[in-house]
A and B are shown apart, each in its own frame.
Chain A
């Protein structure tokens, strides 16, 4: 089996991987369907597992959408992937700005963010202009935005307003732009397999988040920062990290790394991912909301896209720079 897999070309390996992912997803969906059929003739079952089932169904639906998106990205490749993630960043930023009300004086800055910064950032990812790509937002845009704001002649809560927009851009544009940028990395001897890096990153971070979530439920330790998150504590975090790292080590075969290196990379990604989740939670608490989208109930129709990408927003840039630094690209 292993021999057979090694004999395949890079793109055949990626195809096999997607086949596996969609196979597992189909099995999960089928199992869930069977369970929900059984649920109907037993009222107590529904009372006991009803909300868990809804949660699970939602999780599975999101996983399907995400997997399909990654598959499309890989099949159509190149600029299509860039545009797709550009659109995700656009919708995420739209949601962020909707839920963190801006002032009238911010109008020009917002135009700059949506119609100049976002396209330029993704264009640079597509064109592999990585030197400017990494500093464009945190250096140039962060200096330019307050200038545009100052020219709008509105001193009311100036610093706060700028911080809001800069955070929105940092998370939604800078963070997400590093996912398709990973695919554009040219690692020697790993030419058409960069899609694996995205898969590696997503799977490792999701494993860490999931294990951490389950562990926090089981362990019931006092939360580390109860005003931010009711579930985050160091023990469940450690377990999540261990699971993520282990997953990374096991997946070493699909990455350009040796097992030890893959483990280290996975740990870096997981640490960044959980940090991202926690920070985004703090941002939500500041806004007084529990979720970015309250599942169709919000007045504005925000759909919770930000909840889906919060861990990746932090993990992707740090993982990207670690890979670049490691291969001296």
Chain B
């Protein structure tokens, strides 16, 4: 039991802190869910990448620093504490990249990862379909075999970042005759500006085009853009969703920083009694999330894998994120209603937390069935 970082890790922290202090924009960038903001965030990714801070956990040859899991956690604490911008490349970095490290070819890594690290190519995820959300295996978009590759047909929707992103990754049904819905799926990558792709931005609650629907009409994907074996898409994708719900999508540093800002806001408002408990609980929950992550990281470093416990993680951070932002808006009173406030954007984003990456109801089913051993039943 040790919560002290090694001197080398603390040195890494000091270096990251100094760099961030010198580079984090003094005024917040415009929302990354707008065209202008997307471009500004892309430039920020490039600035991070120039000094190899955009993907610290990756191998050096792809633009990273070979930083281990603990250093990644340290970096994230510093990153969010410094008030640095949200990461426009997150879908690629936290979902596609781990998949490529696990299942991709050398050629795919060398081709896909470096421009992802610099923000030159921003990735969107293309999982959901109109009839396949939480029941992802119900997806019907097809990948049909053709000379040297596949042709995609169908529709994807609620595709985060797709309004302005460059490329997407997702699952397609390549063998409709497979006996089970989880079989006969293939995981592949395609360009959002390729012939046959139509992107229709969808405004989220605040009207910003944070996601889009994609219409795919005979879109050609060469074999080199298939990840893993055709037909093995489900297994590959599940390893990615585990990462999504687990540590990488929402690092503890983010919530520690938000909770500290909430406490500062509460004090600035004269420490009102009515919000005392909510502010204290948010601080404590952020700390619990950090320590839970340290424990998980320690287990991973011992060779364990994050299994169904990543579902508890997802339930916890999504509820914490909502609680943090709701408390902040309540503290702000009339000012909290303004859509351009610093907390408002985060609030709108936090509303989606219990829905995406597998609804919290699905996560609770996973916890109940796989951690508690309760019998399967009707949903």
Bound pair: A and B?
A: no
Query: Using a CB–CB distance below 8 Å, which chain B residues touch chain A?
Result: none
Which chain A residues have a beta carbon within 8 Å of chain B's beta carbons? Answer: none
